[in-house]
Structure 1
Amino acid sequence: MTRHALSERLLLCDELLRVGPDAPTKCEGWDTRDLAAHLVIREGRPDLAVGIILPFLHGRLERERARMAAGDYGALVERVRAGAPVWNPMHFEKVDEVANLVEFFIHHEDVRRAQPGWEPRDLAPNLQHALWVSLRRSSRLMFRKSPTGIVLVAPGHGRHSAKLPDDHGTVVVRGTPAELVLYAYGRKDVARVELSGDADDIAALQQAELGLG
């Protein structure tokens, strides 16, 4: 079994150490130490991680994230590198691959693409395929707030209807699976995709909030 999630985790950790604790990321309001703390909480403190979706726990989550981020940065990154604790189902390879591939791919790119002079990586075909499979599975959720219909086209991988038209017509979003994933998860400013459709529909999509937000 190819462990793309593990590879992206390790590459992200290397990048976090390379750029240091105060480097910007594409996660709004977070620098690299904040991102590392988020990843540790996500895997090691599920009682707090639910604060991402439950507003009444958000304050506790943010306080713990800030506390972790203020500590030893190198040790924090090594906690990310170590992976989920043994009691967490994400500790197991198959669960890790399903639950963490997109998470670690996106956050790796969040760090890379916030630095000057970045360029897209030349990703292996099997990683692109895995990202395409993951995107097809999550696309309806990611594009649920789009005011337009969405058709995703990844040359060499296929096309997928992510959302039926709503207030507007349909926009075709074309790119590699990696770039489509970044666009779907709200990294529109750095995702290298091509949009085709009515100009008003494209403008409406570009203003929409995508991803889990």
Structure 2
Amino acid sequence: MSRYARSEREALADLMSTLGPEAPTINEGWTTRDLAAHLVLRERRPDAAAGIALTPLNGYAERVRREIAAGDWAELLDQVRQPPVWSPVSNPLTDELANTLEFFIHHEDVRRAQAGWQPRELPAGLDRALWRRGAMLARLALRRFPAQLLVQAPGHGETTAGRGGEPLRLVAAPGELALFLSGRQRVARVQLDGSPGLTERLRGANLGF
């Protein structure tokens, strides 16, 4: 059985090792060191990880992330490569479900911040895994968007989203959809069919998670 969470994790760690701790990412204000610290916090500090998603705890999570980021770079990369087996999100039972999308997106956060990047040709199995997660992400990320959205991944499937109204169609490969729907619209290569005003609104919408 393919382990795409593991392969994306290793590829990301290799890339960050090559680029060094001060390389840019597409996450505004974050270097590769900041991103590595985020990943370590998520897997090793459950007391602070809730603050990634819960606004009242954001401040505490950010303080812990900064403390982690101040550590030794080589040690940070080792912690990214080898998560603890007790981690709620990275143990053998949860790793593929919780981390395939997470590490694919963050791998691309680094790749697409570098000059001359190009989309990768992904394994068919990874495309399928990303579409399964992307279809759910579409319904969550777009649930309040004021349109009737048809989201299509050619060769994989389609789903509908939005709260209704004017029709809009979003078409892309599964990986590009995952990036677009997670707030990386500016680097995702997608096709949007609909009125110019509505398509621009979606390109600028806050879809991050």
**TM-score normalised to structure 1 length:** 0.93
Out of 197-206 and 118-127, give the one that drifted further: 197-206
**d(CA) in 2 for partners of 1:91 and 1:210?**
25
**d(CA) in 2 for partners of 1:123 and 1:90?**
24
**d(CA) in 1 for partners of 2:25 and 2:56?**
26
Out of 128-137 and 201-210, give the one that drifted further: 201-210
1:209 is paired with a residue of what secondary structure? coil
* Aligned residue-pair number: 209
Q: Which runs of 5 or more residues in structure 1 are unaligned?
A: none
Query: What pairs up with 1:164-183 in 2 under 5 angstroms?
Result: 164-166=163-165, 169-183=166-180
Deviation at 1:207, TM superposition (A): 2.4
String of CA shifts for 1:89-142, please: whole Å, max 9, x gaps. 334334111111110000000000001000001111111011001111222222
Corresponding residue for residue 153 of structure 2: 154
Query: What pairs up with 1:96-107 in 2 under 5 angstroms?
Result: 96-107=95-106
**d(CA) in 2 for partners of 1:110 and 1:178?**
12
Deviation at 1:148, TM superposition (A): 2.4
Deviation at 1:86, TM superposition (A): 2.3
Q: Which runs of 5 or more residues in structure 2 are unaligned?
A: none
Q: Is the 8 A contact 1:154 1:174 kept in 2?
A: yes
Q: Is the 8 A contact 2:90 2:99 kept in 1?
A: no
1:171 is paired with a residue of what secondary structure? strand
Instruction: Report % sequence identity.
Output: 49
Deviation at 1:145, TM superposition (A): 4.2
Corresponding residue for residue 32 of structure 1: 32
**TM-score normalised to structure 2 length:** 0.94
Q: Is the 8 A contact 2:143 2:163 kept in 1?
A: no
